[in-house]
Amino acid sequence: MAQFNPASTLFFLCDLQTKFRPAIFAFDHVVNTTNKLLKLAKILGIEVVATTQNTRGAQFRQYLLIPLTPDTLALGPIDPAIDLLSLGDLHLGTFDKTLFSMLTADVKQLLDSRPHIRSVVLFGIESHICITQTALSLLALPARIKPYVVADGVSSTNAHEIPLALDRLRQEGAVVATSESLAFQLIGDAGRPEFKTFSALVKQEKERTTAAVNTFLGPKDDSTSPYARSSM
């Protein structure tokens, strides 16, 4: 099994841009999970890479059914509700891309300069496009880098794409788990000096975590859940 601890892990935040907000299922839950993970990154000293999708172009406008007007031609920056600024030097950069995978030349260079990295935690949008292609790109690298996909931290324009994408990623070799499960695995030991701060974060985020998990991973017999019509 690939090593999974803070010293050998990067966080990848994928394309969580404001202009996608009207089209993405449960966008605010993804924002909440993302901010929790960024707080975790600060506690554990985990570096974070972010991307944006084609900030200046309009290719996604017709796909997202957003009218092409002068105000909406550019997809624009990451949503301001995402607290990347608080990361300081842990934020390695936000890289614009047209590639669907996050493994652009710049991001690949970052990975190459960190040969100790063995795991990448993936969250953002869209689960069946950029998240999936990033995970597959990581799995295809000669270096053994394991993608961990945050089940309550990814979404899509069509909610029913989410469980299908997560099923595929499991089959391809990625690990799919909730943000809380991955957080506890990263902290690893209640005896760590950071555990008190970590525990306070878990308590602070409990209601938001529950809401996100129930929204994305709710009962399969609940007609409002994307799992209700999945192949699972």
Looking at the structure of the chain, the number of domains it has is 1
Residue 66 maps to which CATH number? 3.40.50.850
The residue annotated as part of the active site, out of 19, 39, 97, 146, is 97
* pLDDT at residue 59, rounded to an integer: 52
| Single-letter amino acid code for the residue at 211 | A
Any domain includes 185: yes
pLDDT tens, 22-63? 999 999 999 999 999 999 999 999 999 999 988 766 555 545
The residue annotated as part of the active site, out of 14, 19, 39, 130, is 130
* pLDDT at residue 218, rounded to an integer: 78
| Single-letter amino acid code for the residue at 52 | T
Ranges of the chain with pLDDT below 70: 1-2, 56-76, 219-232
Q: What is the domain range of residue 205?
A: 6-229
Any domain includes 1: no
Could you give the CA distance from residue 177 to residue 183 in angstroms, rounded to a whole number?
10
The residue annotated as part of the active site, out of 15, 19, 39, 152, is 15
* pLDDT at residue 230, rounded to an integer: 45
* pLDDT at residue 231, rounded to an integer: 38
pTM summary value: 0.87
Q: Is 148:117 a contact under the CB 8 Å cutoff?
A: no
Any domain includes 38: yes
Beta strand 175-177 with 119-125 is: unpaired
Q: In whole angstroms, how far apart are CA 125 and each of 17, 20, 26, 78, 173?
A: 9, 9, 11, 11, 19
Any domain includes 101: yes
Q: Is 97 a catalytic residue?
A: yes
Q: Is 14 a catalytic residue?
A: no
